[in-house]
Amino acid sequence: GAGVSQTPSNKVTEKGKYVELRCDPISGHTALYWYRQSLGQGPEFLIYFQGTGAADDSGLPNDRFFAVRPEGSVSTLKIQRTERGDSAVYLCASSPAGSDEQFFGPGTRLTVL
């Protein structure tokens, strides 16, 4: 079956602009996670959705970052007033209910000029 997909695969933007990154999880997976992977680092947790609600957003770095999952499926990560330090690969993962195994998408590489 289809895996987790993320669009766009690459996004180049200018400092100060607004960006949206999309994640389509595996059908039927109730849990959805966003991570950020900076160059040479391991992924870092940003936010976790269980259904439509953000169950844990403790990893969001500041209030410029926001994520939604209005229908419990597709999720959008939104970044306002982008900064050069936001440049990274943003990873999405989904998981069946009650499972600790996450299935990762290919990521969106964000470059802020």
Partner 1 sequence: AQSVTQLDSHVSVSEGTPVLLRCNYSSSYSPSLFWYVQHPNKGLQLLLKYTSAATLVKGINGFEAEFKKSETSFHLTKPSAHMSDAAEYFCVVTRTSGTYKYIFGTGTRLKVLA
Residues 28 and 13: their CA atoms lie apart, in Å, by: 33
Provide the residue type at 3 as one letter. Answer: G
Nearer to partner 1, 41 or 80 (CB): 41
- Report the residue from 88, 95, 108, 110 that binds partner 1 according to the rule CB under 8 A: 95
- Report the residue from 8, 15, 17, 41 that binds partner 1 according to the rule CB under 8 A: 41
- Report the residue from 21, 29, 35, 82 that binds partner 1 according to the rule CB under 8 A: 35
Secondary structure (DSSP) of 45-104: EEEEEETTEEEE-TT--STTEEEE-TTSS-EEEEESS--GGG-EEEEEEEE-TT----EE
Q: In which residue are the tokens 């079956």 written? A: 1
Q: Does position 97 bind partner 1 by CB under 8 A?
A: no
Q: Does position 90 bind partner 1 by CB under 8 A?
A: no
Nearer to partner 1, 14 or 40 (CB): 40
Quickly list H helices, the chain: none
Q: Does position 105 bind partner 1 by CB under 8 A?
A: yes
Q: Does position 107 bind partner 1 by CB under 8 A?
A: yes
Residues 53 and 85: their CA atoms lie apart, in Å, by: 27
Chain residues that interact with partner 1, rule: CB under 8 A: 3-4, 31, 33, 35, 40-45, 48, 55-56, 59, 91, 93, 95, 99-107
